[in-house]
Structure 1
């Protein structure tokens, strides 16, 4: 009794079911083990660089936090002119800020268009230099 057969270019061959299933299963297990190894490496790499960030209500992250919604989401106080933006941010988007009374930003100069975008305009040049490469020069300007 023939179990199964299929046609090839040369002719008729018998399908060796158990052997093919066994080798395929073996290869799948090898691939799964390799994926686990790579995922473990990526996780350890990411965990080394991850910072456990937590803020309290009232902390400053350049602007003030109103409420902690869950361990990774914070509601922040937006400035006048951009209050129509979504005010909930992921913790990775926030950076701590030490308040400095001499650090004053004029928020009235920021004009948002309908798409909530703005054009950055330099105030003045802080530093200027030319970077010399092998066959060309690159002018570099630091602006505020």
Structure 2
């Protein structure tokens, strides 16, 4: 890492990451303590056409209903493959079923049995 200005640094990135902009403002950087378990192999990471990281979902772990002032929201607890920190997150069921219908296929079969 090399200092470019008072508030910017240029990172030394691997050759596989050459498409990523290498200069960052100090507010975007934080100390990283390496954890061998948390390392994700670069070959497993998928990036879309805008260079955004694509997370993979694994399963719906649980469901709950949250009551707000004026509406009721159905939530699902989704397990993500490479999520840092907690490996699961509560997401709105409507959004998840729209974007990831394959997560809800077994629900369709439960109703038919």
What TM-score results when the alignment is normalised by the length of structure 1?
0.43
* Counterparts in 2 of 1:121 and 1:89: CA distance versus 1, 3 Å: same
1:121 offset after TM fit, Å?
A: 1.9
Q: In the alignment, which residue of structure 2 is the partner of 1:143? A: 79
Aligned residues: 78
Aligned to 1:95: 30
**Is the CA contact (8 Å cut-off) linking 2:9 and 2:26 kept in structure 1?**
yes
CA deviation digits over 1:60-82, x for unaligned, max 9? xxxxxx21222311111334533
- Determine the C-alpha separation between the residues in 2 that align with 1:138 and 1:78: 42
1:127 positional shift: 4.6
How much does 1:108 deviate?
1.0
The reply to whether residue 77 of structure 1 matches residue 16 of structure 2 is no
Higher relative contact order (CA 8 A, sep 6+): 2
> What SS does structure 2 have at the residue aligned with 1:102?
helix
Measured against aligned partners, the alpha-carbon deviations of 1:26-72 in whole angstroms (never above 9, x if no partner) come to xxxxxxxxxxxxxxxxxxxxxxxxxxxxxxxxxxxxxxxx2122231
Q: TM-score, normalised by structure 2?
A: 0.52
1:129 to 63, 66, 73: 63
Instruction: Give 1:89 deviation, angstroms.
Output: 0.4
Q: Which has the higher strand share?
A: 2
Larger radius of gyration: 1
Structure 2 match to 1:116: 51
